[in-house]
């Protein structure tokens, strides 16, 4: 008799938790945020997760999705900024004669992007594609800086 009572009590508790989970607007919003995160829409995911977390500070799902979305957005911003710098460096490289001022400018851009890479916070939950892309760009800047430093030697 007590096994049946304990089993029913456990099932009732789980049912109550599921009921709360599905009726809480904060958890509904965090589920939607997780969906957008999975689809790669990190901006919308971050917006929704932030809203869910503001509604319920104890919503750990919202907090996790919010943090992961923010980290992913930081990786995307790094990749975008890196591409802008690479475009500028390519314009400099197209010149017939590259002077010392331009070489130093390229070296400075490379150093900036290398340092910025170290501020990114990785996680196992961040898409490996984003991490691979940012690491690839980081390696390009390391190689470029090394080439520039060699060309600056007398």
pLDDT at 108: 96
Instruction: Say yes or no to pLDDT of 12 above 80.
Output: no
Residue 95: count other Cβ atoms within 10 Å of its Cβ. 9
Number of CB atoms found within 10 A of residue 32's CB = 17
How confident is the model over 43-71, as pLDDT tens digits? Answer: 999 999 999 999 999 999 999 999 999 99
Q: Which two tokens stand for residue 41?
A: 């829409």
Calculate Rg over the CA atoms of the chain. Answer: 24
Residue listed under structure tokens 């919010």: 66
pLDDT higher at 7 or 151: 151
pLDDT in tens, 77-101: 999 999 999 999 999 988 888 899 9
Q: Which of 6-15, 57-66, 109-118 has the lowest mean pLDDT?
A: 6-15
Q: How far is CA 92 from the centre of its chain?
A: 30
Token pair for residue 91? 């314009």
Non-local (6+) Cβ contacts of 96 within 8 A are: none
- Which phi and psi (to 5°) does residue 18 adopt? -60, -40
How many Å apart are CA 151 and CA 144, to the nearest integer? 11
Query: Residue 114, class by beta-carbon neighbours within 10 Å (0-12 exposed, 13-18 middle, 19+ buried)?
Result: middle
* pLDDT > 90: percent of the chain: 66
């Amino acid at each position: 008799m007590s096994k049946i009572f304990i089993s029913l009590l456990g099932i009732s508790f789980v049912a109550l938790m599921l009921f709360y989970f599905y009726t809480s607007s904060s958890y509904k919003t965090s589920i939607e945020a997780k969906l957008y995160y999975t689809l790669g829409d990190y901006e919308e995911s971050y917006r929704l997760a932030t809203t869910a977390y503001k509604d319920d500070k104890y919503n750990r799902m919202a907090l996790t999705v919010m943090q992961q979305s923010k980290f992913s957005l930081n990786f995307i911003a790094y990749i975008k900024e890196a591409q802008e710098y690479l475009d500028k460096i390519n314009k400099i490289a197209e010149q017939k004669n590259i002077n010392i001022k331009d070489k130093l400018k390229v070296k400075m851009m490379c150093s900036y992007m290398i340092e910025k890479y170290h501020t990114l916070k990785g996680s196992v939950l961040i898409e490996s594609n984003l991490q691979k892309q940012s690491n690839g760009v980081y390696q390009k800047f390391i190689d470029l800086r090394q080439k520039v430093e060699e060309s600056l030697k007398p």
